[in-house]
Structure 1
Amino acid sequence: MHQTYIIYSENRDRYYIGSTSVGVAKRVERHNAGWSRSTKSGIPWVIKYVETFATKLEALAKERHIKKQKSLKVNRIRRQNLQASEGPWSVRR
């Protein structure tokens, strides 16, 4: 059994996307115990989404898909903010 999950840190107002084969509950325990450098500063983490797959390959593909969608959304927002800040008097560098 392989799972893709999203956890949330209220302290950092951040989401973390990952996959695991040890079970999400155990993995989140490890995140909250400080085992992962990338999530240590966000303790405590809470589970927001879980999807189970038959193979590791499927779970990793879903993780990559979610991360790609997140990146596309962030880039779209950045472009919109950049365009909004450019007025007729702005100087491009």
Structure 2
Amino acid sequence: MFHVYILFSRSQDKYYVGYTSMVLEERLRRHLSTHKGFTARAKDWAIVYSELFDQKS
């Protein structure tokens, strides 16, 4: 199973679109942790949309 999700950061006024095969809450936790990359710029990301698919394609 794969989640397609959209995050929103109010402080950055930006959206981020991603996908994952892991538990969605764990993926969000990783976006909010210390790392390099686009989502590292803010710590207020919130899931605003998600949809579950059987296949990655």
TM-score by structure 1 length?
0.57
Indicate the residue corresponding to 1:19 in structure 2.
19
SS in structure 1 opposite 2:38? coil
Quote the RMSD (CA, aligned, Å): 1.1
Aligned equivalents of 2:44 and 2:26: distance in 1? 14
Do the aligned residues in 2 keep the contact of 1:34 with 1:43 (CA within 8 Å)? no
SS in structure 1 opposite 2:29? helix
Report % sequence identity: 35
Aligned equivalents of 1:56 and 1:8: distance in 2? 22
Aligned equivalents of 2:8 and 2:44: distance in 1? 8
TM-score by structure 2 length?
0.90
SS in structure 1 opposite 2:37? coil
SS in structure 1 opposite 2:34? coil
- Structure holding more helix per residue: 1
- Structure holding more strand per residue: 2
Aligned equivalents of 2:36 and 2:19: distance in 1? 13
* Structure 1 runs, 4 residues or longer, greater than 3 Å off: none
Q: Which has the larger radius of gyration?
A: 1
* Number of aligned residue pairs: 57
Indicate the residue corresponding to 1:32 in structure 2.
32
CA distance 1:30–1:36, shift in 2 (3 Å): farther
Give the Å deviation of 1:35.
Answer: 3.2
Unpaired segments ≥5 residues, structure 2: none
